[in-house]
Every structure is written in structure tokens, then in C-alpha cells.
A and B are shown apart, each in its own frame.
Chain A
Amino acid sequence: DAGVIQSPRHEVTEMGQEVTLRCKPISGHNSLFWYRQTMMRGLELLIYFNNNVPIDDSGMPEDRFSAKMPNASFSTLKIQPSEPRDSAVYFCASSPRLAWETQYFGPGTRLLVL
């Protein structure tokens, strides 16, 4: 298996633009997580899906952030409009069944909003 796949790996955009980050979990995994890593706050959970259904989105910073999982093999995290403070590395992870099982992380998307 190729592991968790994220795209793009790097994104540079201007403030106010829409940004879409993509994730393909490991085939057969039922749980998917989006995290944001910053120097100040470390690794923060943004949202968690189980069987394509959002279970916990309490970590989503504000209405500018939205996430979808239309099927078991694809998820998106969208920021609209983007702001410089959104600059961070965004990780996607998946686990076989439940939230508390070992998570397998993708390579991350490094986002820079100018």
C-alpha cells in the first residue's frame, strides 16, 4: 500500500484565495483525521471522520475552514478565504477502524499564505 497520500505537498497562495488540500487514506481504513501543525500550538486535531461521517469537528478554527469526505478514499480540507495565520503544515492521517487505534500519517501539505 502506498500509505496516506496528500496533495499538494506545498502550496503558496495569497491572502483571500481559496485553498483546497486533498487526502487519500490507506485503503480499508475507516477513520480519517486532519491535523494542523504550528510552532506555537504543536499538532492540533481539526476534524475526525469515521466511515465518511464527521464525528468531531470541534477543532476546526472557524467558518473559513470546511472538510468533506465524499467517499472512503478521498477527503478535502478547504480554507476560504485564506489568511496569513493559516500558514502551517496540514497532516492527514488514517486508522483502521477506531479513533484510538494507531494512526498512519501522510507526508503533510506545507501551506504558506502571503
Chain B
Amino acid sequence: ILNVEQSPQSLHVQEGDSTNFTCSFPSSNFYALHWYRWETAKSPEALFVMTLNGDEKKKGRISATLNTKEGYSYLYIKGSQPEDSATYLCASDMRFGAGTRLTVKP
């Protein structure tokens, strides 16, 4: 994998559903994996930074895991709320993925 890739591109869920999305990144010369939350008409805000294989981070209903050997990270949202609607970006060093656009319907 030469670039940072995210899937799915977009996701629509109902309020209360749990969801997850994937970030794949080059596993060679790895320093850190970042997740950002980007609301429409605002700027990206940092959620997590992970550096070690097996790292898990949690903030409220949102958590993330990291596998540096195989080059992927998962972001989980438990019990999605409408205010979780945003684009979730992952970045490996300075390379950003295209993001997953999450829409949570009330």
C-alpha cells in the first residue's frame, strides 16, 4: 500500500447503531497513525494518535485500534448519535486518507 486508504467512503447509520471503519497505511517507515474528526465547514480536529502496534485508544463512545505489522487501524463508534456525523480522516505521518463520511440519522 503506497497511500493511506480509508473505507468505506461514506456510511449512513441510524441513531443508536454502532459502526466502524478502516484505515490502511504503508507499514514501512511508520511513525504514527492519527485519526481526525472533520465537521462540515470546520477544520479537522485530532481524535487519537497511536504509535505502537496493538495500541488502543478510547474517548467516550469512540475507540481506535492499531496494527502496524499489517498496516491498518479501525475506528469504532458505539451507539452513534447525530452529533457524530462528520468526516473521519486518518493520517499516517503527513499522508491523509480521503476520509469516511459518516451520517447518523435520528
Contact = CB atoms under 8 A, between A and B. Distances in A.
B26 interface: no
A33 B31 CA distance: 17
B99 A42 contact: yes
B98 interface: yes
A48 B94 CA distance: 9
B95 interface: yes
B45 A105 contact: yes
A8 B91 CA distance: 27
B20 to A, nearest CB: 21
B98 A100 contact: no
A33 B34 CA distance: 16
Contacts of B32: 100-101
A105 B49 contact: no
A101 B49 contact: yes
Query: Which of A33, A98, A103, A104 lies at the interface centre, i.e. has the most chain B CB atoms within 10 A of its CB?
Result: A103
Contacts of B99: 42-43
Interface residues of B, number: 18
A103 B89 CA distance: 12
Nearest to B51: A100
Nearest to A108: B43
Contact of B46 (A43, A99, A102, A107): A102
A107 B44 CA distance: 9
A45 interface: yes
A106 interface: yes
Given A42-B98, A42-B99, A99 B43 contact: no
Interface string A47-91: 010000000100000000000000000000000000000000001
A105 B93 contact: no
Contacts of A98: 31
A27 B43 CA distance: 19
Contacts of B91: 103
Given A42-B98, A42-B99, A100 B93 contact: yes
Query: Which 7 A-B pairs have CB atoms at the shortest separation, nearest pair first?
Result: A100-B31, A105-B43, A100-B32, A42-B98, A102-B46, A100-B93, A43-B96
